[in-house]
C-alpha cells in the first residue's frame, strides 16, 4: 500500500452522509475547526451533502471572511452500501469460462443471467483455448435489454487478464451501454469464488455509484479543487477510481469515524487502546483500536455478502437512534430494530409525521435529550415522543416510563453484544481500553467525528497479487520483482490522482502465508 506522508496547508473539508443526518467539518490553515449538521436526504444523498457544505461555508464566511474554494473535500459515502443492503443495485450478468456456470454462484447475480464462453487460460498464463467471440456474442444477445452491468470472471485471470479483456471488447460491441467489471482488475488474486463475488458486487453497485459521484462533482465544482472518497480501509481515493471500483468504498462511512478517533485521540493523547461506539440514526458501528492502530481485515462484510476488499474491522448492528420499537404479538416480546425511521419521517419527536416509538423518542421521554438540537436550530416535539411511546405502552400493558426503559435496555443489550465481539471474543480485556462514543446518538451531544475523520485522513492505494512458491525454495529475485511491480503500479496511480501535487509517499507491504497442504479457502 502506498500512502501520502505530507499534506498541503489549506482549507480541508470532510463530509459524512448518515442515514439521518449529514455532517460537515472544515479545518482552516490556522488550525481552526468548523462544524455543521443538517438532515440527510435519502432520495438523493448529494442534496444533503450540498446543504451541509452551504451551512458550513456560511459559518466560515461569518467567522473568517473566507469565500473561496477549499483545497480538498473528503467524503465518506454510504451510497454503495445502501444500494447493496436495500437491493437497489442494477440487474447484472456474469460471464464465466465454459463448464463453470454451476460453480457456487455469486449471490447477487441469478443463474439465468450467468453466461458461458468457450476459452481457457492455463495456470501458467499460457492460452489453452482462444476466446470464441461469436459464441459469446450469441450468449450476450440473450440478456440484451435486461442488464445494466456485466461481470467477467474467467479461470486464471490473475496470471493473465488477456482473455477477460477480449471478452470485454465483445461485450461493448453487443451491449455498448452497460458497465463492465473485469475480475482481474477488481481482484487479481487466486480464488475463483472470492474473486467472482467481489467483481459481481462491484458490477451491481457501479452504475448507481458512478451516477451519484457524477452528480456530486457537479454540485461541488465551486467548493473544492479536489473531491476524494474515503475507502473502507480508511484511506482516500480519487473520485473516478472510486466510481470504477465501488467495492472498495462499501464501508466508507464507518471507516471515517474510526480514522477520526485514531487521528484525534490515539495519535494525540496517552490513550492508545480504544473501543469506538458510533451510534447513528440507523445503526451502531463498533471497532477496536489497539496500540494506536485500528484493526484491519482483508474482507468487507455488508449484509449477507462478503467481498475480498480491505476494510477497517467495524461490526455493525441495526440499533440506532431511529430504530423502531414494536411489540411482537407472536412471541409477546418487545423488539427494537433493525428497521429504522431514517431521515424521513424520522423519530416522532422530529415532528415530520413519524408515529412509531424509536430510541430517540425514548431518550426524549426519559429526559436524556433537550428540547432543541443542532444549537437550537432543530426543535424536538416532546408531546409527539410521549404519544409514540405511550401507544406502545398501552399495547404492552405497561406504563410509559417502564416501556421507555425497556426500549433503552434492549438497545444497550444489542450494543453490549457488539462490544463483546470486537473485544472479549478476540482475546482483548475491555478493561484495558477506553471507550469513545460518537455519532448522532452515541453521546448525548451529537458529534461530527466521522466528517472530521474524513477531513484528516490521507490518500492511499492498495494492489494485491498472488505469488505461489514454497518458502524454502522461494526465488527471491522473482519475489522482489513482484513487490517492486506492485509498488510501481501503486505509485503511478497515486501520482496520476494527485496531478500537480508532489507529496512524499510511503510504501508498506502485507503478506498472507499458508502451511503446506493447508486449504486456501
> pLDDT digits over 457-490, tens only?
777 788 888 887 788 888 888 888 888 888 888 8
Q: How many helices and strands (H and E) does the chain possess? A: 13, 28
Mean pLDDT of the chain: 85
Cβ density class 334-351: b for 16+ within 10 Å, e for less: bebbeebbbbeebbbbbb
Residue 131 has pLDDT above 90, yes or no: yes
| Backbone φ, ψ for residue 251 (5° rounding) | -110, 30
| Closest to 374 measured CA to CA, from 51, 46, 76 | 51
What residue spans define the domains of the chain? 92-212, 323-419, 460-507
Residue 45's pLDDT is 86
> pLDDT digits over 250-264, tens only?
988 888 888 888 877
Residue 2's pLDDT is 46
- Does this model's pTM top 0.85? no
Quick check: bond before 14 cis, omega within 30? no
Residue 447's pLDDT is 64
Residue 150 has pLDDT above 60, yes or no: yes
Classified by CATH at the fold level, domain 92-212 comes out as: Rossmann fold (3.40.50)
- pLDDT, average across residues 236-257: 89
- pLDDT, average across residues 439-445: 63
Higher pLDDT, 176 or 73: 176
Residue 90's pLDDT is 92
The answer to which of 26-40, 217-231, 403-417, 441-455 has the lowest mean pLDDT is 441-455
The distance from CA 72 to its chain's CA centroid, rounded to whole angstroms, is 20
- pLDDT, average across residues 39-47: 85
pLDDT-derived band at 4 (thresholds 50, 70, 90) equals: very low
Would you state the torsion angle of the CA atoms of residues 343, 347, 350, 352, taken in this order, to the nearest 10 degrees? 70
> pLDDT digits over 182-229, tens only?
999 999 988 889 999 999 999 999 999 999 999 888 888 888 878 889
Long-range contacts of 82-86 (CB under 8 A, 24+ apart): 83/204, 83/205, 83/208, 83/209, 84/108, 84/201, 84/204, 84/205, 84/250, 84/302, 84/303, 84/305, 85/302, 85/303
Taking a C-beta distance cutoff of 8 angstroms, is the pair 347, 385 a contact?
yes
Sole residue written with cell 477506553? 434
Amino acid at each position: 500500500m502506498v500512502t501520502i506522508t505530507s499534506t498541503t496547508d489549506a482549507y480541508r473539508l470532510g463530509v459524512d452522509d448518515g442515514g439521518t443526518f449529514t455532517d460537515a467539518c472544515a479545518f482552516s490553515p490556522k488550525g481552526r475547526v468548523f462544524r455543521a449538521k443538517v438532515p440527510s436526504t435519502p432520495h438523493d444523498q448529494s442534496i444533503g451533502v450540498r446543504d451541509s457544505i452551504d451551512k458550513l461555508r456560511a459559518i466560515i464566511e461569518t467567522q473568517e471572511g473566507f469565500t473561496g474554494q477549499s483545497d480538498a473535500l473528503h467524503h465518506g459515502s454510504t451510497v454503495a452500501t445502501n444500494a447493496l443492503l436495500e437491493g437497489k443495485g442494477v440487474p447484472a450478468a456474469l460471464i464465466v469460462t465454459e463448464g463453470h456456470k454451476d460453480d457456487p454462484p455469486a449471490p447477487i447475480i441469478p443463474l439465468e443471467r450467468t453466461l458461458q464462453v468457450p476459452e481457457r487460460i492455463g495456470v501458467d498464463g499460457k492460452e489453452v483455448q482462444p476466446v470464441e467471440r461469436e459464441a459469446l456474442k450469441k450468449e450476450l444477445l440473450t440478456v440484451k435489454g435486461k442488464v445494466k452491468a456485466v461481470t467477467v470472471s474467467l479461470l486464471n485471470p490473475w496470471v493473465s487478464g488477456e482473455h477477460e479483456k477480449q471478452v470485454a471488447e465483445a461485450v461493448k460491441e453487443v451491449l455498448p451501454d452497460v458497465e463492465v467489471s473485469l475480475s482481474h482488475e477488481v481482484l487479481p488474486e487466486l480464488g475463483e469464488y472470492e474473486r467472482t463475488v467481489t467483481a459481481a458486487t462491484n458490477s451491481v453497485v457501479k452504475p448507481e455509484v458512478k451516477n451519484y459521484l457524477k452528480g456530486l462533482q457537479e454540485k461541488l465544482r465551486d467548493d473544492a479543487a479536489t473531491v476524494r472518497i474515503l475507502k473502507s480501509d480508511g484511506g482516500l481515493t480519487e473520485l473516478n477510481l472510486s466510481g470504477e471500483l465501488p467495492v472498495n468504498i462499501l464501508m466508507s462511512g464507518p471507516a471515517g469515524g474510526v480514522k477520526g478517533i485514531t487521528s484525534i485521540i490515539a495519535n494525540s493523547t496517552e490513550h492508545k487502546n480504544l473501543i469506538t461506539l458510533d451510534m447513528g440514526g440507523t445503526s451502531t458501528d463498533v471497532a477496536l483500536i489497539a496500540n494506536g492502530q485500528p484493526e484491519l481485515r482483508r474482507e468487507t462484510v455488508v449484509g449477507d455478502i462478503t467481498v475480498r476488499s480491505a476494510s477497517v474491522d467495524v461490526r455493525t448492528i441495526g440499533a440506532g437512534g431511529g430504530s423502531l420499537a414494536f411489540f411482537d404479538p407472536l412471541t409477546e416480546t418487545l423488539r427494537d430494530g433493525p428497521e429504522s425511521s431514517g431521515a424521513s419521517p424520522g423519530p416522532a419527536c422530529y415532528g415530520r409525521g413519524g408515529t412509531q416509538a424509536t430510541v430517540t423518542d425514548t431518550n426524549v421521554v426519559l429526559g436524556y435529550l433537550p428540547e432543541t438540537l443542532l444549537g437550537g436550530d432543530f426543535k424536538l416535539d416532546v408531546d409527539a415522543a410521549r404519544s409514540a411511546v405511550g401507544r406502545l405502552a398501552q399495547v404492552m400493558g405497561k406504563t410509559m416510563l417502564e416501556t421507555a426503559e425497556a426500549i433503552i435496555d434492549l438497545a444497550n443489550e444489542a450494543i453490549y453484544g457488539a462490544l463483546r465481539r470486537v473485544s472479549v471474543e478476540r482475546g482483548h480485556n475491555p478493561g484495558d481500553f477506553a471507550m469513545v462514543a460518537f455519532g448522532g446518538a452515541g453521546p448525548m451531544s451529537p458529534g461530527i467525528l466521522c466528517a472530521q475523520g474524513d477531513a484528516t485522513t490521507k490518500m492511499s492505494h492498495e494492489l494485491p497479487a498472488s505469488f505461489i512458491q514454497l518458502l524454502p525454495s522461494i526465488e527471491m529475485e522473482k519475489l522482489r520483482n513482484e513487490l517492486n511491480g506492485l509498488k510501481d503500479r501503486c505509485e503511478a496511480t497515486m501520482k496520476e490522482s494527485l496531478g500537480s501535487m508532489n507529496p512524499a509517499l510511503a510504501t508498506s507491504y502485507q503478506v498472507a502465508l499458508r502451511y503446506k497442504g493447508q486449504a486456501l479457502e
